[in-house]
Amino acid sequence: MVIRKGTAIFLVLTFFFSLALTIQPVKAADKVVYVVPLEKEVERGLASFLERAINEAEEAGAEAIIFNINTPGGAIDAARDIGQIFTNSEIKKIAFVNPNALSAGAYISLYADEIYMTPSASMGAAAVIDSAGNAADKKTISYWNSAMSSAAESSDRNPIFARAMADDTVEIPEEYGIVSNGFLTLSSSEARQVGYSEGTEENLDALLSELGYENAEIRNLEPSFLENLARFITNPIVVPILLSVASLGLIVELYSPGFGVAGMMGLTAMMLFFFGHLVAGLAGFEVLILFIIGIGLIIAEFFVPGGILGALGLVAIIASILLAGNSIVYMGIALAIALLVAVIGMVIMVKFLGKNLHLLKKIILSDSTSTESGYVSNVNRVELIGITGITRTPLRPSGTIVIGDERIDAVTEGGYIDKNKQVKVVKVEGSRIVVREID
Q: What is the mean pLDDT of the chain?
A: 82
Residue 127: what pLDDT?
Answer: 82
What would the mean pLDDT of 266-285 be, rounded to a whole number? 81
pLDDT digits (tens, 9 = 90+) for 285-322: 888 888 889 888 877 877 776 678 878 888 888 888 88
Give the best-scoring range by mean pLDDT among 286-300, 368-382, 406-420.
406-420
The predicted-structure confidence for 217-240, as pLDDT tens digits, reads as follows 999 998 888 888 887 888 778 888
User: How far apart, in Å, are the Cα atoms of 402 and each of 105, 387, 409, 417, 430?
Assistant: 96, 11, 9, 14, 18
Alpha-carbon distance 42 to 36, whole Å? 14
DSSP tag of 124: E
Choose the weakest-confidence range: 87-91, 321-325, 389-393, 416-420: 321-325
What are the backbone dihedrals phi and psi of residue 421, each rounded to the nearest 5 degrees, phi first? -105, 150
**Mean pLDDT, rounded, for 371-382:** 62
| pLDDT of amino acid 353 | 60
Residue 25 has pLDDT above 70, yes or no: no
Written as one letter, the residue type at 259 is F
Q: Does residue 128 sit in helix, strand or coil? A: coil
% of the chain residues with pLDDT over 70: 82
Residue 86 reports pLDDT greater than 50: yes
pLDDT of residue 352: 62
Using the predicted structure, report yes or no on whether residue 328 has a pLDDT greater than 90.
no
pLDDT of residue 198: 95
Mean pLDDT of 47-68: 92
**Model confidence at 77: pLDDT above 90:** no
Using the predicted structure, report yes or no on whether residue 16 has a pLDDT greater than 80: no
The mean per-residue pLDDT over the stretch 148-154 comes to 93
Q: What is the pLDDT of residue 190?
A: 93
Strand partners, 437: 423
Instruction: Judge whether 148 and 186 are in contact, CB under 8 Å.
Output: no
Q: Residue 23 pLDDT > 60, yes or no?
A: no
What secondary structure, in 3-state letters, does 351-416 show?
HHCCCCCCCCCCCCCCCCCCHHHCCCCCCCCHHHCCCEEEECCCECCEEEEEECCEEEEEEECCCC
- Give residue 21's pLDDT: 41
pLDDT of 256 reads: 63
Highest mean pLDDT: which range of 26-40, 273-287, 416-430: 416-430
Local structure of 72: helix, strand or coil: coil
pLDDT at 266 over 80: yes
pLDDT score of 361 more than 60: no
